[in-house]
A = this chain, B = another copy of it.
Amino acid sequence: MNKLTISQRGVHMPASAMRKLAPFADEAKACGIDVIHLNIGQPDIETPPEFWEAVSKFPEQTLAYGPSAGRSECIDGMVEYYARFDIPLTANQIIITTAGSEALLFALMACGDAGDEVIIPEPFYSNYAGLATMAGLHVVPFTTFAQDDYRLPPREAIERLVGERTRVILYSSPGNPTGVVYTPEEVAMLGDIARTHRLYLLSDEPYRELSYDGQIATSALHLPGMEEHVIVLDSISKRFSACGARIGCVVSRNAALMETIMKLAMARLSAPVLEQIGAAACLVNTPTSYFEEMREEYTRRRDIVYERLNQIEGVYCPKPAGAFYAMAKIEGVDTEDFARWLLTDFQHAGQTVMVAPGSGFYTTPGLGHEEIRIAYVLETEVLSRAMDLLTMAIRRYRSEPANQ
């Protein structure tokens, strides 16, 4: 027997849908075509000056390990930050992680074993599937639909998925990829399902500040009597436009669970230190005007994308209420093929767009094939031009005999 094989976990790790498209984007660029990236959630907003200043003033000469739970400035910064949302926390209810990814990995590892199940509303952020696979958990999706504006289905549709091996319900609100912001009633319903069936409720909240039109995103940490159940995953990546810092945290009032996550954190020693210093400064000192400006800017961008997409015949885009993504349904178009075609066969005045095919956000086979996700993280003029291109492209794609 050859033991020098790839693990089953490794074989089952999902490959990024984007990665399959990357060579086509490279080729288009090599041919001189300007590819407008609507496919990645990398904001163009500047990281606050507080971050850079704190890093440049770091006084230590030896970049030593940080404590496994996080540098005290960073934990204290998180405590102060959450207090502003009326979420009182103590330092031992927060562990600083290497971004939200590690926060989710640790939470899944602490809650479940190989073969256990995590229920997630789909479409969902693709890396949930990868991180669940790393932790050995199976994803059990329930579907939300474009025509329902990606709102939660009735309680029964979720509860019937709870089985012997279910451990966790995982969701994000404001959500990636749909931009949906769950109402307080929707969050309460998820909480109640978790309470009834004794499940952990993992709420991924990196987009907390990014909800529009006066809506306020409900944190799972606001649910009463759910101290044992609720685990919040968080990250400064989008909040302070500092995706490369890789600073996040896991938050829970369940002491036994935090003790377990602490053991996981100790096995990897510490999160990056210099970037914790920068994060701490942002958490404490970034003025509310930073978020107000950010929200205004993203609202303008959201409006362009939302309005222009819905003007295209046979396209429906629910109005995103938060985050910086829009999911649109393009009737009768195979979006995997269309996304590739945009890079290989389409251009207008030397430009094209790159979009994320919807299927990458679903685990149920066959779903998402008529949807695309757009990240509106570019300036309004570029987004307008991108919408022009997309409008032309959809028309032209549909008119080609091969795509009928």
Interface 1/0 per residue, A1-27 and B, CB below 8 Å: 111101111110111100100000000
Question: A116 near B: Cβ within 8 Å?
Answer: yes
Set B98, B112, B130: member contacting A7, Cβ < 8 A = B112
In the bound complex, CA of A116 to CA of B9 (Å): 12
Q: A47-B61, A243-B269, A272-B98 are in contact. Are A4 and B228 (CB under 8 A)?
A: yes
Cβ contacts under 8 Å, A136 to chain B: 114, 136
Question: A198 near B: Cβ within 8 Å?
Answer: yes
Q: Which of A74-130 contact B (CB under 8 A)?
A: 98-99, 101-102, 105, 109-114, 116, 127, 130
Interface 1/0 per residue, A258-273 and B, CB below 8 Å: 0010011011111111
B260 pairs with A273, CB closer than 8 A: no
Question: Taking the nearest CB of chain B, how far is it from the CB of A338, in angstroms?
Answer: 23
Stretch touching chain B among A62-70, A148-156, A171-179, A389-397: A62-70
In the bound complex, CA of A65 to CA of B41 (Å): 10
A245 pairs with B273, CB closer than 8 A: yes
Set B4, B45, B99: member contacting A200, Cβ < 8 A = B4
In the bound complex, CA of A275 to CA of B13 (Å): 27
In the bound complex, CA of A65 to CA of B16 (Å): 16
Interface 1/0 per residue, A272-308 and B, CB below 8 Å: 1111001000000000000000000000000000000
B246 pairs with A7, CB closer than 8 A: no
Q: Which of A10, A101, A111 has the most CB of B within 10 A?
A: A10
Question: A35 near B: Cβ within 8 Å?
Answer: no
Cβ contacts under 8 Å, A131 to chain B: 267-268
Question: A251 near B: Cβ within 8 Å?
Answer: no
Question: A42 near B: Cβ within 8 Å?
Answer: yes
In the bound complex, CA of A157 to CA of B63 (Å): 41
Set B61, B65, B256, B275: member contacting A272, Cβ < 8 A = B275
Question: Taking the nearest CB of chain B, how far is it from the CB of A169, in angstroms?
Answer: 11
In the bound complex, CA of A169 to CA of B2 (Å): 15
Question: Taking the nearest CB of chain B, how far is it from the CB of A113, in angstroms?
Answer: 5
In the bound complex, CA of A245 to CA of B266 (Å): 16
Q: A61-B46, A246-B272, A269-B243 are in contact. Are A199 and B113 (CB under 8 A)?
A: no
In the bound complex, CA of A113 to CA of B27 (Å): 37
Cβ contacts under 8 Å, A44 to chain B: 62
B197 pairs with A116, CB closer than 8 A: no
In the bound complex, CA of A271 to CA of B269 (Å): 15
Q: Which of A19, A56, A272, A275 has the most CB of B within 10 A?
A: A272
Question: Taking the nearest CB of chain B, how far is it from the CB of A342, in angstroms?
Answer: 22
B10 pairs with A263, CB closer than 8 A: yes
CB closest chain-B residue, reference A276: B244
B260 pairs with A101, CB closer than 8 A: no
Q: Which of A64, A110, A131, A166 has the most CB of B within 10 A?
A: A64
B64 pairs with A42, CB closer than 8 A: yes
Q: List 12 A-B contacts (CB under 8 A).
A: A6-B260, A7-B109, A10-B109, A44-B62, A64-B244, A65-B244, A130-B266, A244-B274, A246-B270, A246-B271, A272-B274, A274-B278
Known: A244-B274, A275-B275. 7 other contacts (CB 8 A): A3-B199, A6-B110, A7-B110, A13-B263, A127-B269, A131-B268, A136-B136
